[in-house]
Chains A and B, each alone.
Chain A
Amino acid sequence: MKNTDLDAVLRKASVPQPPEEFWIELPQQVARQTNRSRSGRTEGVHPAHHRLTRLSWGLATAVCIVIAFSIGHWKGQKELEANSKDVLANPQFVRETLAAFPGQVRAIVEDEHGLNVVLSDTDDVPVSTPLYVRISRGKEVVAVVTFSGQEIQIAGQKMTVLSDAQGGIILMGTDFAWSSGGPAMAKNDWKITAKNLELNTM
């Protein structure tokens, strides 16, 4: 059989026809399906939908900012409250205590037990700028007002408080050192702040 003969045979063959209803129903069925897919597609690209999505993201971002601001504000308030409870931050209190025991005050300590004034047996404590040191470890907070060269004990640690010529403060312990002027070998879990308390500002 030649190719042309085969092609002629193939072309002569007809396909069976489906029921007449198929020809009537098919266009309607396709129209229904296209309507459905079009509404789905339209929903997917409608500018209003985009605007709604953008608005949702905008609102979500705004809510996140408000929450973050609230948390920051709340933490700030807590710190402020904590500071206000720190009696040693009250200049008037420090000045009056020092005035009550002239030359005798080695340190004023505020810890979980309350306030303690550490006095020398003699009035040999040199007059110098009072130094404020605050050490916190977790929830444990100890604040001290003392003078350069004094030895204090905080959280079971003995340490010497020193003030250098530039106004920096150094804490020297048996196994650590800390300086307000730069990186120091402080205990990892300790948070230390220290500053000079100027008499004229008190």
Chain B
Amino acid sequence: MVEFGNEFKGIAAFTGLMHKIARMAPADELDHIQNSLTGNAEAFATLVKENQKMVFAVAFRMTGSMADAEDLTQETFLRAYQHLESYRGRSKFSTWLCQIAVNLGINWRARENRRGDVHVRWAKDSILEPRAEFPDELSQCVQEALNKLPPKQRAAIVLTVYENQSHGEAAAILNCTEATVSWRVFTARRKLKSLLKGRVP
């Protein structure tokens, strides 16, 4: 009886969750999320296919490295799968993924550096990692400038400029106040203007 009761509660909670998700997610996406929640890996693979380019772009802007961006993209989807039950549908699914990627990206380099010797890794990266082939000089200049920002300022720019989030929304994602986001954006813009001065038309 106890197990049945828990199961019933679980179904009720699941149904409620799906109603909430339905507010934001398109019907197909909703089906895939629902099927993923029941353990359908293929459904989640479809969600990966639909969002991987967006997540990779965020990951690359946060890390500035092809190899790190690939790893971060995969890590983002795995985290999303692990915490899929916590997706409440308050935002688009892609926004939720972006939120995970940005938060992982903030600590990515520090975490990677802790994993192994920094110098060995730096040497390995320099030799083995294929250099990112930027489509044009402007893209390369912008990324080099972004790489010079502290991770939290970079995250603020990625969210507000590239993902069109308001300062309030970015604050919720970054778990800080709106004023902090505004300050980070202000400081980051000042640095970017200085770094890009004379290098972009």
Q: Hey, which bits of chain A sit against chain B, CB under 8 A?
A: 1, 3, 6-7, 9-16, 18, 22-23, 26-35, 37-38, 42, 47
Per-position binary interface string of chain B over residues 22-33, scored 1 when its CB falls under 8 Å from any chain A CB and 0 otherwise: 000000000000
Q: Is the CB of B48 within 8 A of A26?
A: yes
Write the nearest CB–CB distance from B115 to chain A, whole angstroms: 19
Q: Is the CB of B157 within 8 A of A30?
A: no
Q: B78 — which chain A residues lie within 8 A by C-beta?
A: 30, 33-34, 37
A31/B45 contact (C-beta < 8 A), A11-B161, A15-B57 known: yes
A31/B42 contact (C-beta < 8 A), A6-B189, A9-B196, A10-B157 known: yes
Per-position binary interface string of chain B over residues 173-201, scored 1 when its CB falls under 8 Å from any chain A CB and 0 otherwise: 00000000000000001001100110010
A30/B56 contact (C-beta < 8 A), A1-B197, A47-B3 known: no
Question: Within residues 43 to 91 of chain B, which ones have a CB less than 8 A from any CB in chain A?
Answer: 44-46, 48-49, 52-53, 56-57, 60-61, 66, 69-70, 73-74, 77-78, 81-82
Q: A10 — which chain B residues lie within 8 A by C-beta?
A: 142, 157, 161-162, 192
Write the nearest CB–CB distance from B42 to chain A, whole angstroms: 7
The chain B residue with its CB closest to the CB of A7 is B161
Partner of A16, one of B3, B134, B193: B134
Summarize A's interface: helix, strand, loop or mixed: helix
A27/B49 contact (C-beta < 8 A), A10-B161, A16-B133, A16-B134 known: yes
11 A-B pairs whose Cβ atoms sit less than 8 Å apart in the complex: A6-B192, A9-B142, A10-B162, A10-B192, A11-B161, A12-B139, A13-B141, A23-B53, A26-B48, A31-B44, A37-B81
Q: Is the CB of B143 within 8 A of A30?
A: no
A37 to B74, CA, bound (A): 14
Q: Is the CB of B142 within 8 A of A18?
A: no
